[in-house]
Amino acid sequence: MRFPSDFLTLSKYQTWRDAKLAAVPERVGDLVVEIKDPEHPSPAERQALLERLGKTNMAVFAAPPASCSKETMRRFCASFGLARLDANQLADDDGISPLAVAPEGTRTRYIPYTDRPIAWHTDGYYNDMAHQVRGLVLWCQSPAQEGGANALLDHELAFIALCDRDPGLAQALMRHDAFAIPANEDAEMNSRDMHTGPVFSVFQDGHLHMRYTARTRSIEWNEACEVQEAKAALEEILAHPPFGLFEHRLEAGQGLLSNNVLHTRQAFKDDPKAPRLLWRARFYDRISES
């Protein structure tokens, strides 16, 4: 469902909004699709995933745990048009990151590689606007002994919740100077310049994109009243989303296929003999709709 870029044209926005809300699945189980062979998803499996993505920008695939490998993940992603990987310095050389508790080394300083909780965010919010992460895929090889679930919220539904309060709030977060990430302060050790940008933006293909983190360190929000008010409203919405909130713990073989929706991660506890391991791939591409 394409976002109506002239969203302030009330009737068009209203139609889009109503269709989005009518399509929100009732249970997280409605997002799950079994995939027999992730190297070659069948047309019916692909269709089932795309149908869910069309509604909430995300789907959960459930593949045989033994099929989990980086090579298979790369091919599975490619079959959905996800090709241009956003590599960071902590990813392995091929750009797919193993998310696990790092016992030692540089990764220990970065929250994704700990067992601590992670607040609401979209991935790559610290990238410049030319390198925004539009596709995010996680694949669980081994879940934690306890915890580690993700809360998930379609960013388009967060936008709708804001507009329902006041379209001016959404507009304030579309300002090109809504927030900045200071130089050299991203969550994964990349050295960068300062990047200023909007929270919500509409890409050339007409899709709504969100760049967000709830973290309070290493971020500079615009001090303008309208932005501060909108930021506070968004925080309230994320604390109690009025619709579309899902929580799911990825089990072995399960993965999230998404257009970089809002997500959190719960704290978790590992079994030292079988620690949690999730593979993560971030793409500059959005999932292809056909």
Residues in contact with Fe ion by the rule CB under 5 A: 123
Smallest distance from the beta carbon of 117 to Fe ion, in angstroms? 12
Query: Closest residue (Cβ) to Fe ion?
Result: 123
Provide the 3-class DSSP secondary structure of residue 139.
Answer: strand
Which residue, 86 or 123, is less far from Fe ion as judged by CB?
Answer: 123
Which residue, 62 or 151, is less far from Fe ion as judged by CB?
Answer: 151
Smallest distance from the beta carbon of 286 to Fe ion, in angstroms? 16
Which residue, 222 or 258, is less far from Fe ion as judged by CB?
Answer: 258
Which residue, 88 or 142, is less far from Fe ion as judged by CB?
Answer: 88
Chain centroid to CA 248: how far?
14
Smallest distance from the beta carbon of 115 to Fe ion, in angstroms? 15
Q: Which residues pair with 271 in a beta bridge?
A: 274
Smallest distance from the beta carbon of 137 to Fe ion, in angstroms? 11
Which residue, 122 or 142, is less far from Fe ion as judged by CB?
Answer: 122
Burial (0-12, 13-18, 19+ Cβ within 10 Å), 41: buried
Smallest distance from the beta carbon of 8 to Fe ion, in angstroms? 31
